[in-house]
Amino acid sequence: MMKTFQTLINSDKPVLVDFFATWCGPCKVMAPILSDVKAELGESITIVKVDVDKNQALMNTPQFQVRGVPTLMLFKKGKMLWKQSGVVPKEELLKIISDL
């Protein structure tokens, strides 16, 4: 997973990563927001969901330091440009992505 993940975030187009857990209430709130963002931005962005329970090693990587879920991170060309925990409204996400 780690090698695939690194390849993915090194993309020229923005990659939004959602670290989530199946048991997490706020994560369930975030799911339709991410679907809406993907529908609006289409192929200009990649959105990846990472289940923290199945990817402990990735979550605990010093580079990412995911402490709570949901945690969203935005990458472009391998660089983390933005990170936030908790539910992020669609309009705010769209603005952050468009400001890249």
- Cα(56)–Cα(16) distance, rounded to whole angstroms? 19
24 catalytic per annotation: yes
pTM of the model: 0.93
Residues 43-62 pLDDT 10s: 999 999 999 999 988 888 88
The residue annotated as part of the active site, out of 27, 34, 50, 58, is: 27
Positions of the chain with pLDDT under 70: 1-2
- C-alpha distances (whole Å) from 17 to each of 78, 79 are 12, 12
The residue from 8, 24, 47, 94 that is catalytic is 24
Domains of the chain (ranges; CATH) run 2-98 (3.40.30.10)
What pLDDT score was predicted for residue 57? Answer: 85
